[in-house]
Structure 1
Amino acid sequence: MKPNIYSIILYVGTAVAALALAYASFKSATVAWSVGICVAIGVVVYAFSMLPEPKKVARSDEAPKTQRSPAAQAAVVVAVIFGLMLVVPTVVLWLGRYSPELGALVGGVALMALFLILWLRSRYQRSHERDEG
């Protein structure tokens, strides 16, 4: 990949953020746990990027088509995710009273779950767009 201004900004920003987190981790155990959780989540996300493309499912012409539109399905997914995300801060603060590390873990997992759901949905949509197109 040929470096451009955006990739340079991304690399420099990542390096600065990593240095700031390393310094903060040295000063506070809670930040160290949070950084460790974020690194673990990053490793999992990187592993997901190596998954093979989903297999195409052969569809027969006799199969009935669903009457729901993709926009309605997306609206339902977004509404459910939004509703669940309204509960997350309360749960994280409640858990944080007992253990800040557990609160950070639950918050990080909840945020990554949001992106994981959206990423899996996009993979599903792409695999089915190829079948129709």
Structure 2
Amino acid sequence: MSDESPGNRSTLIAAAIIFAGLLIGGYFLPDVINYVALFSPWLAIGVGVLFVLAVFLVFWLRGRYQRRHGR
């Protein structure tokens, strides 16, 4: 990485944080779903769907932020 501008650096940091969040969330998701399924299978499905939607929400918000700030 020879051309480390502040924009590149913030993009890399944001990507690393998003990736780490997805890894941690994906690691614990089966345990959370199994625990919630003890109460309601439909609620467990909802938790899984919310996790997938949250992934898209994060990327949508990141894109919106970048468009607003002209990046």
Provide TM-score, normalisation by structure 1: 0.43
Aligned residue pair count: 65
Report whether the alignment pairs 1:125 with 2:60. Answer: no
Answer with 1 or 2: which has the greater Rg: 1
Counterpart for residue 82 of structure 1? 23
Name stretches of at least 5 consecutive residues in structure 1 with no aligned partner. 1-65
Name stretches of at least 5 consecutive residues in structure 2 with no aligned partner. 1-5
Counterpart for residue 18 of structure 1? none
Deviations 1:101-127 (A, max 9, x none): 110111111111111111111111122
Q: After TM superposition, where is structure 1 displaced by more than 6 Å over at least 4 residues in a row? A: none
- 1:110 and 1:74 map into 2 onto residues whose CA distance is 18
| Structure with the higher helix share, 1 or 2 | 2
% identical aligned pairs:
34
Report whether the alignment pairs 1:100 with 2:45. Answer: no
Cα-Cα RMSD = 2.1
Q: Which has the higher contact order (CA 8 A, sep 6+)?
A: 1
Deviations 1:50-72 (A, max 9, x none): xxxxxxxxxxxxxxxx6881112
Letter in structure 1 aligned against 2:33: V
